Amino acid sequence: MKPVTTTMAAIAAATALSGAPMAADFYGDKTVRVVVPSGSGGTYHLYCQILAHHMAKHLGGGTASVITQNMPGAGGAKAARYMVTAAPKDGSVISMINPGSIAFPGLRPKVGFDTRQMRWLGSMSGRAYTVGVYNGSKSGSGFSAADAKKKFGFPIRSIADARKRTVIMGTSGKSSTSYLIPSFMNQTLGTKFKIILGYKSGGTMNLALQKGEIEGRGNFYTGYLGVWPEAIHDNLITFLARIGPERDDIKHIPRIRDLMKTDLQRDMLDILEISFLVGQAFYAPPGISKERLSELRTAFVKTVQDKALLKEASKRHLPMKWQTHDKVQTAIDNIFKKPPTAFKTLTSMLGFNKKKKKK
């Protein structure tokens, strides 16, 4: 019996040893793409960029190349559809989810992807979200407060003001949080946000604010700190409401949750708020092998704990409160346990059940 035991041990040892070279061999000559569900110029791009900067050294033998690929469109839905339909399933492509689309399988069944089936790597951070309007340039140049008053009307300083006249807002598409949250506020709080679609990124929306194309937008609070800190430091933005994780520096901004009046409204808000609690989460496409997914998850955890990454994130004012893939998956699964009435009512509120008019 002893020769058999020795042989079995030898086979097991050889099998164990063979795993590492295979992984190193795969990533040693590969360029891994990180798909960004937006254009450049915003913090979605920054999160993907710093992940790409530091993840290569934690993949295989540390000789892989990791780059970003911007894929804007439909508020992040274009990138998600690509990941589940056309992206390679071999571990060479991962993506960040546009947080606004996490609950879409329950709101827009024909959206073309199911976040419950994505192979989550983890989240870099949850993030507090705000709805605000631009006060105008304070430097004497550009679109000023006087220009804004002449073009749009009296200044918007509160939700009460936003109930009194139309407020022009910008967004990338109906899958984006900058569409979902103002739309929800219109239906529950009586605001009069008119939302203009088609902006490719947060950066283009910020420019549109400064040019007077739009009055306001939804944005992560740290989205301003990361790419346009003057907006906060110089009080260029009036914040009307917030949603998501707490921050000490935004407690003066009214919480949307505190303005909800019924259990149904709170359930619908929970469905929307998952976007901000999960935040900047990354995933591989369904169909990836267990072995390759495990390696990506291990590399992701090592990357988000990398001191060099944390230093870069701090310089760019990007919060880093990372979450494991299990925590992300559990949070997403739990949100789909909300009453069907909440999903159905929210779908109607956001206009997702309206049939497109034939041309």
* CATH label of the domain that carries residue 264: 3.40.190.10
Mean pLDDT of the chain: 91
Residue pLDDT, tens place only, 150-159? 999 999 999 9
pLDDT on residue 11: 37
Decide if 27 is inside a domain. Answer: yes
Whether residues 122 and 133 share a domain: the answer is no
Counting the structural domains of the chain, the total is 2
Decide if 359 is inside a domain. Answer: no
DSSP track, 170-184:
E-S-TTSHHHHHHHH
Please check the confidence at residue 139 and state whether its pLDDT lies above 80. no
From 274, 299, 317, the end of a domain falls on: 274
Whether residues 239 and 161 share a domain: the answer is yes
From 274, 295, 329, the end of a domain falls on: 274
Per-residue pLDDT band at 10 (split at 50, 70, 90)? very low
Mean predicted confidence (pLDDT) in 86-114 = 94
Mean predicted confidence (pLDDT) in 221-249 = 94
Whether residues 286 and 202 share a domain: the answer is no
Decide if 29 is inside a domain. Answer: yes
pLDDT on residue 9: 41
- Cα separation, 146 vs 142, whole angstroms: 11
Full strand arrangement of the beta sheet holding 65-70? 65-70, 31-36, 93-96, 281-284, 119-123, 323-324
Decide if 32 is inside a domain. Answer: yes
Structural domain that includes position 21: 2-127+278-349
Please check the confidence at residue 16 and state whether its pLDDT lies above 50. no
Residue pLDDT, tens place only, 24-83? 688 887 899 999 999 998 899 999 999 999 999 999 888 899 999 999 988 899 999 999
Whether residues 149 and 254 share a domain: the answer is yes
Counting residues of the chain whose pLDDT is more than 70, the rounded percentage is 91
Whether residues 221 and 196 share a domain: the answer is yes
Whether residues 262 and 282 share a domain: the answer is no
Decide if 196 is inside a domain. Answer: yes
Whether residues 136 and 254 share a domain: the answer is yes
Q: Which domain CATH number covers 76? A: 3.40.190.150
Decide if 228 is inside a domain. Answer: yes
Whether residues 85 and 155 share a domain: the answer is no
Per-residue pLDDT band at 14 (split at 50, 70, 90)? very low
Decide if 355 is inside a domain. Answer: no
Q: Buried b vs exposed e over 11-41: b needs ≥16 C-beta within 10 Å?
A: eeeeeeeeeeeebbebbeebebbbbbbbbbb
Please check the confidence at residue 184 and state whether its pLDDT lies above 90. yes
Whether residues 78 and 171 share a domain: the answer is no
pLDDT on residue 80: 97
Please indicate whether residue 186 or residue 200 has the higher confidence score (pLDDT). Answer: 186
Residue pLDDT, tens place only, 301-336? 999 999 999 999 999 989 999 999 999 999 999 999
Contacts of 303 (CB under 8 A, 6+ apart): 51, 54, 55, 58, 309
Mean predicted confidence (pLDDT) in 212-226 = 95
From 274, 291, 310, the end of a domain falls on: 274
Decide if 354 is inside a domain. Answer: no
Note the pTM of the prediction, 2 decimals: 0.86
Pairing of strands 323-324, 237-243: unpaired
Whether residues 133 and 250 share a domain: the answer is yes
Whether residues 67 and 194 share a domain: the answer is no
* Residue count (the chain): 359
Whether residues 189 and 150 share a domain: the answer is yes
Please check the confidence at residue 195 and state whether its pLDDT lies above 60. yes
Please check the confidence at residue 23 and state whether its pLDDT lies above 80. no
- Cα separation, 81 vs 114, whole angstroms: 9
Please check the confidence at residue 6 and state whether its pLDDT lies above 60. no
Contacts of 134 (CB under 8 A, 6+ apart): 143, 148, 209, 210, 215, 216, 231, 236, 237
